[in-house]
Amino acid sequence: MNGFPQGSGHMMGYGGGMYMWLFWIFIVGVIAYFVLDRIKHNQNAQDSSGESPTEILKKRYARGEITKEEFDRIKKELEN
């Protein structure tokens, strides 16, 4: 008749193909939502450390990780 064997269920009937597309669009949307939510959560966690670059620099100097010269140079760069 139309070139398809009888009972093949071309595109799963008249509306089945559309439902399958909607299903996959829904699945992709849910995954995208969770990925974007996780990215946003990670950015907020990094921003909420509450330490300014100068405070971090002072702690590094206090721990002896950098010399006085390095401290002064980096502090000057941060102020610019």
Q: How far is CA 12 from CA 21, 25, 36, 71, 74, in A?
A: 12, 17, 33, 70, 66
pLDDT digits (tens, 9 = 90+) for 46-69: 655 678 889 999 999 999 999 999
pLDDT digits (tens, 9 = 90+) for 10-43: 555 566 678 888 999 999 999 999 999 998 887 7
3-state secondary structure at position 8: coil
